[in-house]
């Protein structure tokens, strides 16, 4: 008798646990669905109303073209600045995991990964914007590059570390130098992981607002054409529109948010699907 009851209790516990865990999962994922749903339902009408001009026109003509272009240019410039640095730093951390410099490089990179992004912005504002006397694309891109760099570096290091040692040994056995082994053999084999890190980093910085607050300046009435002049960006525009009281601005904000989510998901989902590995952000 007792034995059967005990088993039953265990099964009930099991089922309750399953329900609880399932419910928590639902609770964790629900916000994403609601966010996407509200952005689509509120943003779509704005975008449909103005049609194509919404993504090509300037702000006073009811479009967010300069902001989109600004975001793309900022992201590309930041990538161009940050990635070479990141790749080499990651390769170093991979090659010397036990030396003092190698170890501390890795720790530094991981700390920088968790750096509050607003602090990067105020740092760049202090050393670039104020001395230069102008908000600029360059300052914004530098701030973004500082955020991008540790991402790519850490991913590079991790991707390289996953390549079996035997390939490295093989390379040395063929008489390759260290540079050849790492840049030709290991890099090629870890290509996929490195690219993933790169793209995730890009997706991340393209949505950053805080580091641009006091560096990029904002430009929504004309298209950016100089590295040393202010530039606008989508997240920055959304942030300022959200703080406005007028319903028109809110409509623009939702429309811009929709464009932004589409860009983000457009980059993110294909990458994520193209590799069936568990990655962490």
Site for another protein in 60-119 (CB under 8 A): 60, 65-66, 68-69, 72-73, 76, 84-85, 88-89, 91-92, 95, 101, 104-105, 107-112, 114-119
Grouping H, G, I as helix, E, B as strand and the rest as coil, residue 248 is helix
Sequence-distant (6+) residues with CB within 8 A of 109 are 89, 90, 93, 149, 150, 153, 154, 157
Q: Show contacts with another protein in window 11-30 (CB under 8 A).
A: 11, 13-14, 17-18, 20-25, 27-29
Least spacing, CB of residue 162 vs another protein, in Å: 13
The answer to whether the beta carbons of residues 233 and 212 sit under 8 Å apart is: yes
For another protein, give the closer residue by CB, 45 or 226: 226
Q: How many residues bind another protein (CB under 8 A)?
A: 130
For another protein, give the closer residue by CB, 173 or 246: 246
Q: Show contacts with another protein in window 212-241 (CB under 8 A).
A: 213-214, 217-223, 225-226, 229-230, 235, 238-240
| Binding window for another protein (CB under 8 A); candidates: 124-132, 155-163, 165-173 | 124-132
Q: Show contacts with another protein in window 245-274 (CB under 8 A).
A: 245-246, 249-250, 253-254, 257, 260-261, 264-265, 267-274
Provide the 10 A C-beta neighbour count for residue 21: 10
Q: Show contacts with another protein in window 126-185 (CB under 8 A).
A: 126-127, 129-130, 133-135, 146, 149, 153, 177-179, 182-183
190 binds another protein (CB under 8 A): no
For another protein, give the closer residue by CB, 76 or 174: 76
Q: Counting every residue, how long is the chain?
A: 281
**How far is CA 62 from each of CA 51, 59, 221, 236, 250, rounded to the nearest angstrom?**
10, 5, 10, 17, 13
Q: Which of 241, 262, 236, 250 is nearest to 70 (CA)?
A: 236
Rounded Cα distance, 86 and 145, in Å: 9
Q: Which of 128, 113, 273 is nearest to 214 (CA)?
A: 128
Least spacing, CB of residue 175 vs another protein, in Å: 14
Least spacing, CB of residue 166 vs another protein, in Å: 19
Sequence-distant (6+) residues with CB within 8 A of 83 are 148, 149, 152, 198
């Amino acid at each position: 008798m007792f034995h059967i009851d005990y088993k039953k209790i265990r099964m009930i516990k099991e089922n309750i646990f399953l329900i609880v865990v399932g419910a928590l999962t639902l609770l964790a994922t629900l916000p994403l669905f609601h966010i996407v749903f509200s952005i689509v339902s509120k943003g779509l009408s704005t975008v449909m109303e103005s049609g194509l001009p919404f993504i090509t026109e300037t702000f006073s003509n009811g479009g967010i073209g300069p902001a989109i272009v600004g975001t793309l240019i900022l992201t590309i410039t930041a990538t161009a600045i940050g990635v070479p640095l990141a790749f080499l730093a990651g390769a170093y951390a991979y090659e010397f995991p036990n030396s003092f410099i190698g170890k501390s490089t890795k720790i530094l990179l991981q700390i920088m990964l968790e750096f509050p992004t607003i602090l990067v912005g105020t740092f760049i504002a202090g050393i670039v914007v104020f001395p230069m006397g102008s908000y600029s694309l360059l300052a914004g891109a530098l701030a973004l590059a500082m955020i991008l760099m540790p991402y790519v570096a850490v991913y590079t290091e991790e991707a390289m570390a996953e390549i079996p040692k035997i390939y490295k040994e093989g390379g040395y056995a063929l008489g390759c130098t260290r540079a050849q082994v790492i840049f030709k053999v290991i890099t090629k084999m870890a290509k996929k992981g490195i690219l993933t890190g790169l793209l995730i980093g890009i997706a991340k910085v393209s949505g950053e607002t805080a580091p641009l607050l006091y560096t990029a300046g904002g430009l929504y009435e004309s298209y950016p054409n100089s590295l040393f002049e202010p530039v606008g960006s989508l997240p920055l525009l959304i942030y300022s529109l959200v703080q406005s009281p007028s319903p028109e601005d809110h409509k623009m904000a939702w429309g811009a948010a929709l464009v932004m989510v589409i860009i983000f998901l457009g980059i993110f989902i294909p990458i994520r699907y193209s590799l069936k590995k568990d990655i962490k952000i």
